[in-house]
């Protein structure tokens, strides 16, 4: 599980780190843009207002250009970190609130100011090499001709230092968050991997046949559902194992009884102890009857094996359902009279022929009818009711026998299930019947109430 834990941890951590670093990057870009925009707006307003002030008030009051522009510079000498420059159209600095630079100014803001635009420029100071921002605006004479440019310059060092502080604080917060995420991702990966590891360990034990092992359910999530499923599977396997063992024991007993009878009568006849021909015939009849019983049991087991392996092939043919059921009733007429059971049938008009496997269909009806007689007391009634409803043929075998316990009813069609009955049988008859009917595209249902009787309902599609 180390691989899963590592992958979960790394994927979670990398994903969160990418998100956090993206947020950090966006945050810092936004902070920088905000402060730079604020400085830019302030410089633009300062440059524009100074140019407007000159054009309105100073332009008319002085004889020469330098004298008229000097008040613009003098009024701003007290402002910290702000330099006011007066530049002629060639780029020479005429006046400055700081030291007058000998270098010509040819920056973008200056060039645009000559064209009448108010613009800003960000770059490095030629003399000090520090980061600065400048805004320039045109100064015009009385005829609205550009005579010079007022340029407002400020250092970005304080702004950059403030941005660095924000960067430091945000990085510190980011590191704290990453530490928290590291711890939480470790815990999270553990909460996922540990239950999976437990499931894996128990599943490995189950694969070795230790079905008494159970997985502790820690959370109501997919892993919890998987734990419930594996626990349920183990319980069902144990039940199936118990049922299988019971089936083997039951079949062994069922086989032993006829084999004992056959062996006993065979040995007796071979010894020649019987001189009476009738006694010998009686013994041979017992042998034949028990042999038929064995054959039926073996056939039932073979059918069940074929159905479980999905190798049973149906020989479908048009069959008169009414005729087949009446033939089966004739076969059971003698037994019914002997056991004092009233065997009746009821058919609605125009029962259609169906495409079924004739032998398998008879096998199902015989099995269900045999069960009905086996679990019905003397002087009881069994009714076979055949009708149609919409596109279905419905066959009901209704008895008023012992019935089936409510808790046994959901499991009665399970393979090997016999309930609490002491009657002989393998416990696979109904399971075989159910599968045969399903292969025909139909359904087999049971309704029963203890001590009141059972109703077996077979539904087959018409056409």
**CATH code, 433:** 3.30.565.10
Flag whether 374 is in a domain: yes
In terms of DSSP bridges, do strands 392-399 and 453-461 run parallel, antiparallel, or are they unpaired? antiparallel
Both 304 and 321 in a single domain? no
pLDDT of residue 50: 77
Both 376 and 254 in a single domain? no
Residue 355 buriedness (CB in 10 A; 0-12 / 13-18 / 19+): middle
Are 83 and 100 in contact, with CB atoms under 8 Å apart? no
**CATH assignment of the domain containing 52:** 3.30.450.20
Q: What is the pLDDT along the chain (463 residues), one digit of tens a residue?
A: 456 667 767 777 788 888 888 888 898 889 888 988 988 888 888 888 877 777 666 555 554 566 666 666 666 555 567 888 888 888 888 887 777 666 788 888 888 888 888 888 888 887 778 888 989 888 887 777 888 888 888 888 888 899 899 889 988 988 898 888 888 777 777 777 777 788 888 888 888 888 888 888 777 777 788 888 888 888 888 887 877 776 677 677 667 777 887 888 788 777 776 667 777 788 888 888 888 878 877 877 777 777 767 777 888 999 999 999 999 999 888 888 888 999 999 999 888 899 999 988 998 998 899 889 988 898 899 999 999 988 899 999 999 988 888 888 887 877 666 655 555 444 567 888 888 899 899 999 999 888 889 999 999 998 7
Flag whether 191 is in a domain: no
| Phi/psi at 93 (5° precision) | -80, 115
The DSSP 8-state label assigned to residue 409 in this structure reads G
Flag whether 214 is in a domain: no
> Which among 308, 339, 373 is the end of a domain?
308
Residues with Cβ within 8 Å of 350's Cβ and at least 6 positions away in sequence, in order, are: 388
Please enumerate, as own/partner, the contacts of 164-170 that have beta carbons within 8 Å and a separation of 24 or more: 166/28, 166/31, 167/28, 170/24, 170/27, 170/28
CA distance 410 to 412: 6
Flag whether 193 is in a domain: no
What's the token pair of residue 73?
Answer: 């510079």
Both 26 and 136 in a single domain? yes
> Which among 274, 308, 342 is the end of a domain?
308
b/e sequence 74-110, b meaning 16+ C-beta within 10 Å: eebeeeeebbbbbbeeeeebbbbbeeebeeebebebb
Both 142 and 245 in a single domain? no
Both 332 and 413 in a single domain? yes
Full residue range of the structural domain in which residue 368 is found: 316-461
Both 339 and 243 in a single domain? no
Both 284 and 322 in a single domain? no
Flag whether 71 is in a domain: yes
The DSSP 8-state label assigned to residue 261 in this structure reads H
pLDDT of residue 256: 77
> Which among 140, 162, 184 is the end of a domain?
162
Residues with Cβ within 8 Å of 187's Cβ and at least 6 positions away in sequence, in order, are: none
CA distances for 129 relative to 82, 95, 106, 123, 125, angstroms: 16, 21, 16, 9, 5
Angle between helices 2-53 and 157-207 (to 10 degrees): 160
Flag whether 148 is in a domain: yes
Flag whether 346 is in a domain: yes
Both 157 and 258 in a single domain? no
Structural domains of the chain, count: 3
Both 284 and 340 in a single domain? no
Flag whether 236 is in a domain: yes
**CATH assignment of the domain containing 265:** 1.10.287.130
Are 444 and 456 in contact, with CB atoms under 8 Å apart? yes
What is the rounded end-to-end Cα distance, in angstroms, of the chain?
56
Both 17 and 57 in a single domain? yes
Both 57 and 157 in a single domain? yes
Both 48 and 133 in a single domain? yes
């Amino acid at each position: 599980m180390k691989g899963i834990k590592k992958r979960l941890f790394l994927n979670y951590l990398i994903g969160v780190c990418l998100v956090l670093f993206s947020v950090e990057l966006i945050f810092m870009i936004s902070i920088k843009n905000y402060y730079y925009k604020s400085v830019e707006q302030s410089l633009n307003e300062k440059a524009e207002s100074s140019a407007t002030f000159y054009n309105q008030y100073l332009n008319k009051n002085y004889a020469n250009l330098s004298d008229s522009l000097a008040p613009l510079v003098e009024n701003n000498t007290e402002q910290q970190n702000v330099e006011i420059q007066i530049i002629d159209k060639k780029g020479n600095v005429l006046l400055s609130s700081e030291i007058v630079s000998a270098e010509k100014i040819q920056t973008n803001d200056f060039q645009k100011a000559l064209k009448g635009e108010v613009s800003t420029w960000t770059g490095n100071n030629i003399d000090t090499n520090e980061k600065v921002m400048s805004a320039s605006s045109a100064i015009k004479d009385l005829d609205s001709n550009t005579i010079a440019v007022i340029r407002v310059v400020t250092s970005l060092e304080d702004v950059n230092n403030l941005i660095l502080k924000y960067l430091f604080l945000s990085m510190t917060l980011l590191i704290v968050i990453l530490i928290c995420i590291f711890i939480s991702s470790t815990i999270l990966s553990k909460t996922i991997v540990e239950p999976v590891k437990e499931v894996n360990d128990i599943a490995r034990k189950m694969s070795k046949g230790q079905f008494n092992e159970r997985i502790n359910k820690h959370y109501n999530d997919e892993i919890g559902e998987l734990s419930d499923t594996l626990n349920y599977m183990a319980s069902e396997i144990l039940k199936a194992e118990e049922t299988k063992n019971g089936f083997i024991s039951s079949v062994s007993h069922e086989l032993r009884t006829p084999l004992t009878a056959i062996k006993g009568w065979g040995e007796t006849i071979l010894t020649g102890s019987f001189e009476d021909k009738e006694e010998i015939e009686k013994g041979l009849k017992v042998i034949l009857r028990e042999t038929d019983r064995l054959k039926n049991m073996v056939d039932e087991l073979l059918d069940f094996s074929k159905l479980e392996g999905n190798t049973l092939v149906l020989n479908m043919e048009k069959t008169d359902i009414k005729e087949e059921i009446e033939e089966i009733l004739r076969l059971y007429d003698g037994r019914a009279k002997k056991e004092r059971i009233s065997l009746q049938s009821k058919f609605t008009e125009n029962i259609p022929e169906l495409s079924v496997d004739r032998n398998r269909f008879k096998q199902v009806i015989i099995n269900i009818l045999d069960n009905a007689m086996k679990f019905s007391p003397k002087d009881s009634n069994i009714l076979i009711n055949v009708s149609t409803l919409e596109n279905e043929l419905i066959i009901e075998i209704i008895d008023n026998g012992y019935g089936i316990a409510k808790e046994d009813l959901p499991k009665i069609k399970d393979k090997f299930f016999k309930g609490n009955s002491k009657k002989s049988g393998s416990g696979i008859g109904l399971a075989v019947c159910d599968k045969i009917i399903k292969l025909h595209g139909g359904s087999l249902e049971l309704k029963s109430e203890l001590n009141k009787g059972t109703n077996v309902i077979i539904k087959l599609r018409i056409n």
